[in-house]
A and B are shown apart, each in its own frame.
Chain A
Amino acid sequence: MCSAIRSRLSGSSGLALGVLGVGNIGMVHLKSALSMAAVDVRAAADAMPENRNRAERAGVARTYDDYTTLLDAEELDAAVVALPPFLHADAVERAAENDIDVFVEKPLARSTEEADRLLETARKAGIAVGVDHTLRYQPDMIGVKSEYEDGTVGHVPYASITRLNDGPLGRPPVEHAPPSWPLDADAAGGGSLLELGIHCFDVLEWLFGDLEVRDATTGTTLDIPVEDAATVLLRAPETETTITLHCGSYQWEQLPEVNTRLRLEGVTGTISNQDHLPGNFYASAAKSALSNVASRVTGSESDVFGPTFYLQAHYEALSAFCDAIRNGDRPPVDGQDGKRSLELAETAYELAAAGDDTELETMEVTR
């Protein structure tokens, strides 16, 4: 595949890239790609005119209202699939028909069954599949991993991770219409476990190796069709670490504050991601901005989205994918990684459903 990928790379201006879907996260990918020296963003597609207008204002040369038209019309090396999950498999299939590698927004698919079909399509076509699992690119998570692997707290019998935000419904003041697909189980595949928990599974396996799901519970705080809270009990056999994971889309989020907490309780102390975040976001952002301006003067490379670490992680994830494609390497977070996180989520759903059936416990609330 490596040589095939190399031979496909088009032109001297770099990796020819298209962005399918330029809603919120798609725009982050688009802007990231536009900032990459060795990437040539050819076009973007979105069904919504206002999103296409934003993409054009951001600097993309051409936009399409249909991603299939884009894939057929443009000569691309790779495409970012930032469409709702129910379109991922179709988009990958269309990309495969056009011999285009894909970087797919998480979750890779709505189920492992769908992921298997998607990956088989990619395998037969010989295209690479990367997945946007960004937590492992965040500086705070990198800091935790570094500390852990340095053995600074010794053996870690217990760890916990929490990821909360306000999901599709948001918080007041209401500024835009909430999308419908994230609250549609058929379209999204699930609720906060697939939206947020999937990131946690990925970063936990990145830290501790293979995980086993021991128990899980899900719940809703409103009468919505998908869960907006999930708690999962995990075990990492290799490190003999017990882990609790809680994710939910019920909590109001006030950026730049992001409620992602990871704690590793070791024998000699605790490793916390909070210790690897800037104490003062704005001061850190200002420092980063000044550094970038200085870099411009000295001619060195600047940090894209430097003042915002969580957007910078998306940049790093896409950049790593593009580097891998350019070098003919396997994407650092590939389709199997994406499927693995889906497997853990599915097991959690099954255990939660079994728990509901037997009424063993109810950890979350209804209304």
Chain B
Amino acid sequence: MTGAPVVRGTVIEAGERIDDDIDTTDGTEPRDLRSGHSGNGNDAPTRRWNPDIDARMAAYEPSVEDVLSPTLDELSTADPERITLVPDAHYPFHPSTGMVTDPALVGATLSLLDDRTDAELAVAGTSSAAIAFERTTDYLGYPSLVARTGAELVDCSDDDLERERYVLTNDDHAVAVSVPVRLRESAVITVPTLRPTDAGAFAGGRRTLARLVDAVTDAAATAVAATRAIDPRGSLLDATTAYGESPYAANTLFAGPTPAVDTLGESLLGRSSTADRTRAAELEAMGTADSASELSTVRVTPVGPTADASGVDFEQHLATLRKRLDGASLPPSDATHPAVSAAYRLYAAVGGDAVPPQLDARGGH
């Protein structure tokens, strides 16, 4: 793990909220989450995946309400016209893999927002070269889910969406992104997953937002600029199932300012936003660096079955998360390494064999 930061957070207590710094690196006394959680109604503590989306929503709702309460309070007061959730819905991977936001978590959040606000609700994502957003959301079961609250599914790659150019600049740097206006005019909550991207970065809230904007700069700068342009109200990090080198039922939710939650996620995956000093300096110059003080605003709560299990040691839980997720990476590509392809071609030429199509450039179905 690189540069493991001290991660501080707020633990949700039953009936009250206690601002209590959690130092996962200094060996302070472990906390027993059993005594500090409001419960979720599950009778049988178990870490098994529950395929019933209604049961998962019911299990998530109390924890979402707890961990997202400052944001919910703020939205209740601010009374925005529209609230948009931006989940990690990039491809129809099964939610039990941790590779996408669990739609049940989005459903639970929509339900709470529907109860607590009068805002129009939306769930936004985008189509990619690989697959249309509509197809992804269909396969993940979003249409029936959003119908419960009347929320709208919005494909930000839709050409009909009005967009505006946003330029993030300072003395030395300028990054321009084209952002759907309705996102800029909406109260946005990102709901990313605790997983690595194809490129090995943390697929946090900023990168989830970055997929919704058009830009010509690199992924990190786009993520920063998209976040500044959209200015999300916060991030609800879905670590109910995380993905390290395999799925892990972490049964945890984190919430807070998007950059801070991202920093926490990066640390759990063994990434450090400060490891690249040049990049860190750039971000600092743009006013988007994540200060340690921001981390103390991240709230965390167990969710689902783990929340009811007795004797859960919170500090150990985070340490376990780090251990399980450190060095997270996706499975290796099917694409054969060029050197292997070259060697196979040489062998095939000498041995009179055919070259398997997998060693050719891919195409078609």
Contacts and interface: CB of A to CB of B under 8 A. Distances in A.
Interface of A: 22-24, 27-28, 31-32, 34-35, 46, 48, 50-51, 53-54, 57-58, 84, 169, 171-179, 181, 221-224, 250, 252, 254-255, 289, 292-293, 295-296, 302-308, 311, 315, 365-367
Interface in B6-32: none
Main secondary structure of the interface of B (DSSP, over half): loop
Interface string B330-359: 111111000000000001001111111110
Contacts of A304: 353-354
Contacts of A34: 354
Interface of B: 51-53, 91-95, 97, 99, 103, 128-131, 138-141, 144, 198, 330-335, 347, 350-358, 360-365
A308 B340 CA distance: 14
Given A31-B354, A48-B364, A367-B141, 17 more contacts: A35-B353, A169-B92, A172-B330, A172-B331, A173-B330, A173-B333, A174-B198, A175-B334, A175-B335, A176-B362, A223-B144, A250-B94, A254-B332, A302-B353, A304-B354, A305-B354, A311-B356
B365 A23 contact: yes
B327 to A, nearest CB: 16
Contact of A46 (B333, B357, B364): B364
A147 B139 CA distance: 43
26 contacts: A23-B364, A24-B364, A27-B357, A27-B360, A31-B354, A31-B355, A31-B356, A35-B354, A48-B364, A48-B365, A51-B364, A53-B363, A169-B91, A169-B93, A169-B139, A171-B331, A173-B198, A173-B333, A175-B333, A177-B130, A221-B51, A223-B138, A295-B351, A296-B352, A303-B353, A367-B51
B131 A177 contact: yes
A362 B141 CA distance: 19
B357 A31 contact: yes
Contacts of A221: 51, 94
A24 B365 contact: yes
Contacts of B365: 23-24, 48, 84, 179, 181
Contacts of A175: 333-335, 362
A307 B357 CA distance: 13
Given A31-B354, A172-B93, A57 B360 contact: yes
Contact of A293 (B91, B330, B347, B357): B347
B347 A51 contact: no
B51 A222 contact: no
A54 B130 CA distance: 20
